[in-house]
Each structure stands twice: as structure tokens, then as C-alpha cells.
């Protein structure tokens, strides 16, 4: 039985907050838990290029329930500059191996994304595509009255209600998995992937720097690490650039019988345009509690003990995606 979760933002915050108090997440060493909680990446802001565009900098503010990208874009010319701009939302696809917690049951905006430029909301439009075998099957999925998000209770119920002729037609298109003749009552699985992009016109006044803000609820993995999971932390050493001191503190708590509630977030750290030089992204990660540990490559170790941990994304981060893990002490 596949397990997928779509919850309102308030419920996401409540679940993550309860992790440190109740430590109800299951240990990563327990292989009988079924699908693993996973994280998905929201794309970085992308903008069109122009000779007068200057990327003055961009910062990523991170909390376990909110991400804020702040871009500072300067128009060095004497005339107003209008550029195309877009943010790609995470690709959603059914899986037997992972679960995801979405902020909203909204195929156009499952992460509660908002965009503003110069302090005013951007008039963003959303393009949605549902791909099966590389072709957009949005029309066929809508015609079958199926939800566009390819997982969750609502989708499972709609798939179960499809008549046999519709199942055969959609399976032939690669939209759903065919039933095994030996198990005719087995549940159907959505085989399409949902992709959405929010796009807008970015207007930059001449000679000024405009702040562009992109906010959303992250699709983060939440899990518990307990005694016996020391190797799991060891395996994170390279991904998170853990220092011997941090590694010792994380593993030491487990060896003493303690536990960690982990929030695992992956962020896109691409510059807003590929064609212009831009500084690396700076990061500020809020600790949910004073005794939490924040780990990521590029962390400023001098701020590790402070309420907000600072750092900068390394230039050589793989696929321009940076992994951040927030460890909170959990009840034994």
C-alpha cells in the first residue's frame, strides 16, 4: 500500500514541530516502515539576460517550515528593463519508495509559492503539464476526471472508480499502470508526472536595484535517528561537510541512547541567469531551538552556536542543489 501525504501548511508545521517533542518519526534503520519520507526541490528564480542586468546578490533564508529567496537585481541602464522570469515547481510523480508532504492539494501551487518584486506581488501565471511517455496528457487526465496530482487519497479514490474501458484506454497511453490479470483488484497507480512553472514579467526601473522575493513551504524529509543509526550520520559526512566536532556531537548523542529528529531540505542554489557573473548564494538558517544542530556545506562555523546559522553555497555544489539538515534533540 503506497503512502502519500497532502496536508495544509499548518499541519506540516505541527508535524515537524511535534518531531522534537514526541520523536514519533521512525528510525532510518527500520526497513519495515514502507516508503521513505523524501524531499523535493523548488527551482531557483530564472530571468532573461540583458547587458544592463547586474545580479548584485541573492540570499536564501531557511526555516524548517518556510524558505525565502531574496534576489537583488540591478538595472544598470538608462531605460526600463523588462525580462521574462520563472520559477519551476517540483516535479510530482507517484512512487512506491518515497512519500512527500505537500503544503496544499493544489496542482498549480503545491508549495504555497508567492513572488513579489519591488515589494509588490508579481502577476504570475502558471503553466501545468502532465507527462506520460514524454507526451503532455493533461487533456486526457482531465477528461477522465482524475486529480492532476498523481498521488494521494483523492487520486487513489478516483483511479479506483475508473470503469474498465477507461483503465484500458489510459493504460494504453501510459497514463496509468495496467492491472495484473492475476490480481484484478489491485490498486491502479498514476504513471504521469506533473510539472508546473510560474512565470511573470519582471520590470526593472533604470539605475536601481530591485528586490525580488520568492517564498514557499519546503517539501522536506522528516525522520528520526536513534541508537544504531550512527552509520547513517557517518554517511551524511560528505553531503553535509560535517566537521569532526559536529560529527562527534551528532553521533555521541546516539551512542548515549539519545535521538535526533531531522528535517532534511534540498535547495536550488542556481544564479538567476546563466549568462552573467553572479556571486554565490548566501544562506541564513534559523534554528527551531537553541540546542538544534544545523549542517550544510559552506556553513560559517563561527555562527554554528547562534540562533541563525550563516553560510554561503559552494561554487562546486553538485547539480546546483544544496542539502541542509536541521537536527533537533528528540525524546528517547
In a domain, 180, yes or no: no
**Which of helix, strand or coil describes residue 323?**
strand
CA distances from residue 300 to 90, 100, 211, 275, 326 in whole angstroms, order as listed: 29, 30, 25, 28, 15
In a domain, 148, yes or no: no
In a domain, 35, yes or no: yes
Give the span between the Cα atoms of 258 and 233, in whole angstroms: 14
* Below-70 pLDDT ranges, the chain: 1-37, 332
The answer to whether residues 202 and 84 touch, using CB atoms and an 8 Å cutoff, is yes
User: Cα 20 from chain centroid?
Assistant: 21
In a domain, 181, yes or no: no
Give the span between the Cα atoms of 218 and 322, in whole angstroms: 13
In a domain, 197, yes or no: yes
Specify the number of domains making up the chain. 1
In a domain, 153, yes or no: no
Give the span between the Cα atoms of 58 and 308, in whole angstroms: 17
CATH number of the CATH domain containing 70: 2.60.40
The rounded radius of gyration (Å) of the Cα atoms in the chain is 22
Other beta carbons less than 10 A from residue 185's beta carbon: 7
In a domain, 170, yes or no: no
Give the span between the Cα atoms of 148 and 253, in whole angstroms: 43
167 DSSP assignment? H
pLDDT at site 98: 82
Segment 161-181, tens digit of pLDDT: 999 999 999 999 999 998 788
In a domain, 9, yes or no: yes
Question: Which triple of cell numbers denotes residue 312?
Answer: 554561503
Domain containing 14: what range?
5-131+193-326
Amino acid at each position: 500500500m503506497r503512502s502519500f501525504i497532502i496536508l495544509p501548511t499548518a499541519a506540516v508545521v505541527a508535524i515537524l514541530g511535534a518531531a522534537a517533542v514526541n520523536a514519533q518519526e521512525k528510525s532510518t534503520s527500520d526497513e519495515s516502515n514502507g516508503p521513505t519520507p523524501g524531499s523535493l526541490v523548488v527551482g531557483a528564480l530564472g530571468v532573461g539576460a540583458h547587458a544592463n542586468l547586474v545580479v548584485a546578490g541573492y540570499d536564501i533564508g531557511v526555516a524548517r517550515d518556510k524558505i525565502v529567496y531574496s534576489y537583488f537585481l540591478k538595472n544598470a541602464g538608462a531605460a526600463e528593463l523588462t525580462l521574462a522570469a520563472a520559477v519551476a515547481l517540483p516535479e510530482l510523480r507517484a512512487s512506491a519508495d518515497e512519500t512527500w508532504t505537500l503544503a496544499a492539494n493544489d496542482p498549480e501551487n503545491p508549495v504555497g509559492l508567492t513572488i513579489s518584486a519591488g515589494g509588490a506581488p508579481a502577476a504570475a501565471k502558471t503553466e501545468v503539464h502532465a507527462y506520460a511517455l514524454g507526451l503532455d496528457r493533461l487533456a486526457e487526465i482531465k477528461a477522465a476526471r482524475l486529480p492532476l496530482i498523481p498521488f494521494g487519497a483523492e487520486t487513489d479514490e478516483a483511479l479506483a472508480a475508473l470503469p474498465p474501458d477507461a483503465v484500458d484506454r489510459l493504460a494504453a497511453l501510459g497514463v496509468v499502470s495496467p492491472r495484473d490479470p492475476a490480481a484484478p483488484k489491485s490498486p491502479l497507480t498514476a504513471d504521469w508526472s506533473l510539472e508546473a512553472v510560474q512565470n511573470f514579467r519582471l520590470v526593472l526601473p533604470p539605475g536601481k536595484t530591485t528586490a525580488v522575493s520568492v517564498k514557499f513551504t519546503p517539501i522536506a524529509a522528516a525522520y528520526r535517528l536513534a541508537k544504531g543509526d550512527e552509520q547513517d550520520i557517518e554517511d551524511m559526512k560528505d553531503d553535509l561537510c560535517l566537521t569532526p566536532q559536529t560529527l562527534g556531537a551528532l553521533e555521541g548523542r546516539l551512542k548515549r541512547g539519545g535521538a535526533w529528529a531531522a528535517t532534511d531540505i534540498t535547495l536550488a542554489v542556481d544564479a538567476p541567469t546563466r549568462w552573467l557573473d553572479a556571486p554565490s548564494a548566501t544562506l541564513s538558517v534559523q534554528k527551531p531551538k537553541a540546542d538544534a544542530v544545523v549542517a550544510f556545506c559552506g556553513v560559517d562555523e563561527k555562527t554554528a552556536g547562534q540562533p541563525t546559522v550563516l553560510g554561503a553555497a559552494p561554487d562546486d555544489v553538485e547539480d546546483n542543489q544544496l542539502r541542509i539538515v536541521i537536527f533537533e534533540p528528540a525524546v528517547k
